[in-house]
Structure 1
Amino acid sequence: MKKNVISIVALLIIVMLGGVFTIREMMFPIKYKDEIKKYSKEYRLDPYEVAAFINFETNFQNKKYEENNTSGLMNFRDEKAIEVAKKMGLKDFKPKDLEIPEVAINLGSYYLSKLKEEHSSLLKVVSEWAMRNNPEDEVMREYSKKYYLPKIEKRINIYKILYPGLKL
């Protein structure tokens, strides 16, 4: 009887660990930790927020460049990427450079930091983030408040639990 209890407990532990691993690696992966830490520190951001935005936008699947479509890890379109790169002082930037994960994380983190400087609430930051590629789309602004914000907040909290070592 005691062997059965021990076996059941061991099996439950294995299943739980497998579940955490699956959630961590499949649903909430994190790639490019060093880059996230580097640019979070440089732009005074919470690395969990950067990871949450990347997860929400692309689930860390780097999108190849297609002219006038969103690309990179953080889904920037050509025009917005060029505008942000100029503000950052990136020389010789081309939208195709968004395919390079470090460039995409740098550009996205910089943009997030500027939004956070302008807006005190995560709601406004998320709303403006959602509008970055289509600033005139008011329907998207309202949609982002209802859809984007809860998903970003959820991801931030999940990343804090699954990746405690990400904090600077």
Structure 2
Amino acid sequence: MSKRIKRKRVILPLILIVLGALFVQSEWLGRWIYPISYVDEIKRSALEYQLDPLLIAAIIRVESNYKHEAVSPKGALGIMQIMPETAAWILEQEDFGKLTARDAGMDAQAGIRMGSWYVKELNRQFNGNLLVSLAAYNAGPGKVRQWLEKGTWEGTEQTIRDIPYGETRHYVQRVMYYYKKYQKIYETL
């Protein structure tokens, strides 16, 4: 075998690897693989409730994958999968005008607005601890308070594996995965 053929066998795969790496790292590919829908609604609610729009987008991605009329097997409604009782409680706490609990499950803008308010409220209740707030969004704030008070979970990233509910543990991990992924791809909305 000639040196020229050997060289081609080495150079061609290297070129393909470099081109592949450039392709995978491209912004447009990332945005295609990890799209964000309802950008204007997310931005509006993020601004109103002083949240990172990419966090809201990550929660929506995990909760409903941007399906505004989604209904979970447990009865959570809409794009941010709010339980009807939670939606009713949110409406008692904050004036959302003519919005109803049913609107959270039917209208993306209403769901994003109410869900964003709830994320902000959970952040307030849990002193800005994002991981604990996300766990509370999934399992409920009362249950998460029990875990923290009993020392079942410390509320840190290093102890996520100690979250007693597998669904909640997986939920927090997935939201954080998408949040970090969105931060790399979009930087900002």
Q: What TM-score bracket applies, with the shorter chain setting the length?
A: 0.7 to 0.9
* Residue of 148, 155, 158 corresponding to 2:178: 155
CA contact (8 A) 1:123 1:145 kept: no
Q: TM-score, normalised by structure 1?
A: 0.75
Partner SS, residue 126 of structure 1: helix
Q: In terms of Rg, which structure is larger? A: 2
Tell me the residue number matched to 1:43.
Answer: 49
- Letter of the 2:121 partner, please give it: K
Q: Describe the superposition over 1:89-131 as per-residue Cα deviations: whole angstroms up to 9, x where unpaired.
A: 1244323212111111100000000111121322210111112
Tell me the residue number matched to 1:100.
Answer: 107
Tell me the residue number matched to 1:131.
Answer: 139
CA contact (8 A) 1:57 1:73 kept: yes
Change in Cα spacing, 1:60 to 1:25, as seen in structure 2 (3 Å) is farther
Q: Provide the rounded CA distance (Å) in 2 between the counterparts of 1:53 and 1:65.
A: 15
Q: Provide the rounded CA distance (Å) in 2 between the counterparts of 1:65 and 1:93.
A: 18
Q: Provide the rounded CA distance (Å) in 2 between the counterparts of 1:37 and 1:91.
A: 20
Q: CA RMSD in A?
A: 3.3
- Letter of the 2:51 partner, please give it: L
Q: Provide the rounded CA distance (Å) in 2 between the counterparts of 1:56 and 1:153.
A: 10
Change in Cα spacing, 1:74 to 1:51, as seen in structure 2 (3 Å) is same
Change in Cα spacing, 1:100 to 1:56, as seen in structure 2 (3 Å) is same
Q: Provide the rounded CA distance (Å) in 1 between the counterparts of 2:89 and 2:98.
A: 13
Where structure 2 has 5 or more consecutive residues not aligned to the other structure, the ranges are: 1-11, 148-162
Change in Cα spacing, 1:71 to 1:88, as seen in structure 2 (3 Å) is same
Structure 1 residue 43 displacement after superposition: 0.9
CA contact (8 A) 2:58 2:175 kept: yes
Report 1 or 2 for greater relative contact order, CA contacts < 8 Å, sequence distance ≥ 6.
Answer: 1
Partner SS, residue 142 of structure 1: coil
Q: Provide the rounded CA distance (Å) in 2 between the counterparts of 1:18 and 1:125.
A: 31
Is residue 2:119 matched to residue 1:112? yes
Where structure 1 has 5 or more consecutive residues not aligned to the other structure, the ranges are: none
- Letter of the 1:163 partner, please give it: Y
Q: Provide the rounded CA distance (Å) in 2 between the counterparts of 1:119 and 1:18.
A: 36
Structure 1 residue 73 displacement after superposition: 0.5
Equivalences, count: 158
Change in Cα spacing, 1:29 to 1:119, as seen in structure 2 (3 Å) is same
CA contact (8 A) 2:70 2:81 kept: no
Taking only the aligned residue pairs, the percentage that are identical comes to 24
Q: Provide the rounded CA distance (Å) in 2 between the counterparts of 1:40 and 1:62.
A: 18
CA contact (8 A) 2:41 2:112 kept: yes
